[in-house]
Amino acid sequence: MNVSKWNVALLNVSKHGIVGNCPACGSVDTDYEYFKFKSGRGTLDVWCISCKTRISTDCMNIPDNPKTIYDTTDYNWDDVDDILHCGTREEIDAIKCPECDGELEYTYIPEIRYMEISCKGSCGTNIRCHKVYTVPNFYKLKNVGVTSNDLDYETIAN
């Protein structure tokens, strides 16, 4: 997949509300949708119906749009993922397990793009994520020495 061409499709949607032709096969049979978390951030998915190619990006400020799906559930693991990847230092420091309100421990290994989230509370939930395409903000804040003002909240894709 040519990621730079798909980045153009993501930018077309975010700026103009249209995908355009599929960067993979040239079809005009393309579509998109936004998913908005309670934070106002979320993901943008763009895909081709013909060749089934898809790209997704996160950490975007999501507009109110007819193609926006809203997260109306209680605080859940999607919110945890959103906060760990895109949150401010204050949001990350306040994060709790959505199942038992326990303390969370999280790790990111950039060399293999691996992230793990573990609950130290009563539920003991453990989530492993492989091929994490964006460096989570919790890792940037902890290991790179950036401040909350340096974080990129409008990442399109790596």
Supply the pLDDT for residue 154. 38
Supply the pLDDT for residue 49. 94
Q: Tokens 């060749």: give the residue.
A: 51
Contacts for 120-129: CB closer than 8 Å, 24+ residues apart: 121/97, 123/97, 123/99, 125/97, 125/99, 127/77
Supply the pLDDT for residue 59. 74
Q: What is the dihedral of CA 119, 114, 88, 43, to 10 degrees?
A: -100
Supply the pLDDT for residue 119. 93
Nearby residues of 73 by Cβ (< 8 Å), 6 or more positions away: none
Is the CA virtual torsion 92, 93, 94, 98 positive or negative?
positive
How far apart are the C-alpha atoms of 110 and 135, rounded to whole Å?
A: 7
Supply the pLDDT for residue 158. 28
How far apart are the C-alpha atoms of 144 and 58, rounded to whole Å?
A: 20
SS3 158: coil
Structural tokens at position 3: 């990621």
pTM of the entire structure? 0.62
Digits of tens for pLDDT over the chain (158 positions)? 566 788 888 888 888 888 999 989 999 999 998 888 877 888 888 999 999 998 888 777 777 776 777 766 678 888 888 889 888 889 899 999 989 999 999 989 888 888 899 999 999 898 887 778 788 889 888 876 555 444 444 333 32
Asked if residue 49 lies in contact with residue 43, where contact means CB atoms within 8 angstroms, the answer is no
Supply the pLDDT for residue 100. 93
Supply the pLDDT for residue 72. 65
